[in-house]
Amino acid sequence: MADIGVVIVGVGQVALQNHLTGIALSPRAKVVAICDSDQTALAAAGERAGVRLLFRDYHEAVNHPDVHAVIVATPNFTHPDIVRAAIDAKRHVLCEKPLALDYQTAVDLYSRAEQAGVRHMTAFTYRFVPAMRYMKHLVEQGAVGVPYHFRAQRFQDWQARPLGWRQVKKLAGSGEMGDMLSHRIDYAHLLVGRIGRLVAGLRNYIPQRGGEPSDVDDWVGILCEFESATSGVLESTKLATGRGEGLRGQDVVELNGDAGTIVYSTQRPFELRIGRRGDADLETVAVPREFWVWPGCPRDPDQGDPLATFRYDQGFEFIDAIVNNRRCRPGFEEGAEVQLVMDAAERSAHERAWVDLAPHRQTPLRQINSGGST
C-alpha cells in the first residue's frame, strides 16, 4: 500500500531521469505532487507522471496534507530555502547535491532536520553504483590493507557549451567541483574517512558560454591528506578534449594500499580491477550479483542500462529509511562534510595555500561525522 506521498520540487533533468523511477520502485511510496516554478515544465512532467497535484509555489507543495516526503531537485542556490520549508512542515527530505552553497548553511540544514526528527538524505547517487559498493566492501575486508593513495578522475569533453544556471557562481556555488567532483569527495569519505588538510586549484578557462558570463571552475584539482594519513588526488574537468561526455567520459577511482590496489570505473558497473602485491598486472574481477542492487530494493538488475539503473536505488533507500525509521545513507551530515571540503578548496585556491579542515568543522558534525559510515 502506497502510504508515503512524495512531492518532487523541480522537475528538470535529474527529476525525470532518476527520481520518478526511483520512487516508483517502492510499493510504500507514490509521487502524489509535482512542483516547478516553470509552468511548461510543470505541465509536461505532470502529464508524464500522471500526477494531479501541480504547484508552482514550493511552500504550498510541501505543506499539502497528502505530502509526507519531499525531493528537492532544483538549481543549487534554491536548496536551502526549500529544504527549510520541508523541514518546517515536518516532511522527510531528499536533497540533490550540493546540499547548500556553503558549509555553515549545510550544517544548519542538518541540525534542523535532526531537531525536527525527519529523515534526511543527500543525493550522492554514485554510492549506489554496484562496483563502488563492492569496492567499499572489499576495502572493509582488508583487500588493500593500509590505504596509501586515493585517486579520483572525472574527465569530460563539454567544451564551451552553455550550462544555464550551472555556469553562474551565485546560482551554482561552484562549477565542476560541485557538479561532478562532489560525488567523488563523498566517495573518498566513504572509503578512507575524513580529509584533514588540502590544497586545491580551480580554473575558469571559458569565461563566456552561450554569449553569457561563466564565472565558475571548469577544472578543479585537490591534493589532500586524509585524517588517516592516506594521500588523495582528485581531479575533475569539463575540458578533457576527446574524452567523451556524461556516462562515456572518464570516471575512475583508484585506491592503493600496502596489500593491494582496487580500480573502479563507472563505465564498468559490474567489474573491478584488482592488483595484489607481486602481481604483474591488475586482474578484472566480476562484481558478485548480490551487489548489483541495493539491499532490499526490488529492481530487476537485468533490466535497463546498468549505467543508469543504479540511480533508481537512491529513491528506494530514501523511502526504505522512512518506512523503517532509520537514518538515510548518505544523510545531510555527509552533504555537509563534502561542503566543508569544497569551501576549503575554494579558500585554498584563493589564498594559494594549504587549508586545515578541523578548525572549520562545527559541532555537532565534529562529533558525529566519521565520514566512513555506510
DSSP 202-218: EE---SEETTEE--S-S
Q: Minimal distance in Å, beta carbon 43 to ligand NAD?
A: 11
# residues near ligand NAD by CB under 6 A: 23
Question: How far from 119 is each of 127, 201, 223, 245, 318, CA to CA, in Å?
Answer: 18, 35, 33, 34, 8
- Give ∠ CA 208-211-217 in degrees, rounded to 5: 20
Residue nearest to ligand NAD (CB): 12
Q: Locate cell 532490499: which residue?
A: 296
Among 5, 23, 78, 134, binds ligand NAD (CB under 6 A): 78
List alpha helices for 145-270, DSSP H: 169-172, 176, 182-192
* Interaction between residue 73 and ligand NAD (CB under 6 A): yes
Compute the distance between CA of residue 341 and CA of residue 355 in angstroms, rounded to an integer: 10
Stretch that binds ligand NAD, among 6-14, 23-31, 262-270, 274-282 (CB under 6 A): 6-14
Which residues have CB under 8 Å from 294's CB, separation 6+?
128, 133, 313, 316, 317
Stretch that binds ligand NAD, among 13-21, 187-195, 218-226, 228-236 (CB under 6 A): 13-21
Q: Minimal distance in Å, beta carbon 322 to ligand NAD?
A: 19
Stretch that binds ligand NAD, among 8-16, 208-216, 284-292, 343-351 (CB under 6 A): 8-16
C-beta separation of 155 from 240 below 8 A? yes
* Interaction between residue 53 and ligand NAD (CB under 6 A): no
Compute the distance between CA of residue 32 and CA of residue 55 in angstroms, rounded to an integer: 11
Select 99 or 262, whichever has its Cβ closest to ligand NAD.
Answer: 99
What character string, x for contact with ligand NAD (CB under 6 A) and - otherwise, covers 106-145? Answer: -----------------x-x--------------------
Select 78 or 369, whichever has its Cβ closest to ligand NAD.
Answer: 78
* Interaction between residue 76 and ligand NAD (CB under 6 A): yes
Compute the distance between CA of residue 193 and CA of residue 185 in angstroms, rounded to an integer: 10
Stretch that binds ligand NAD, among 71-79, 85-93, 133-141, 244-252 (CB under 6 A): 71-79
Which of 38, 36, 40 lies closest to 53 in space, CA to CA? 36
Select 72 or 224, whichever has its Cβ closest to ligand NAD.
Answer: 72
* Interaction between residue 301 and ligand NAD (CB under 6 A): no
Select 28 or 59, whichever has its Cβ closest to ligand NAD.
Answer: 59
* Interaction between residue 37 and ligand NAD (CB under 6 A): yes
* Interaction between residue 265 and ligand NAD (CB under 6 A): no
Query: What is the dihedral angle through the alpha carbons of 340, 346, 347, 350, rounded to the nearest 10 degrees?
Result: 180
Which of 57, 14, 52, 58 lies closest to 30 in space, CA to CA? 52
Q: Locate cell 589564498: which residue?
A: 351
Q: Minimal distance in Å, beta carbon 77 to ligand NAD?
A: 9
Query: What is the dihedral angle through the alpha carbons of 231, 359, 332, 89, rounded to the nearest 10 degrees?
Result: -170
Stretch that binds ligand NAD, among 5-13, 222-230, 283-291, 300-308 (CB under 6 A): 5-13
DSSP label at residue 126: G
* Interaction between residue 93 and ligand NAD (CB under 6 A): no
Contact residues toward ligand NAD (CB under 6 A) are 9-15, 35-38, 41, 58, 73-76, 78, 96-97, 123, 125, 164
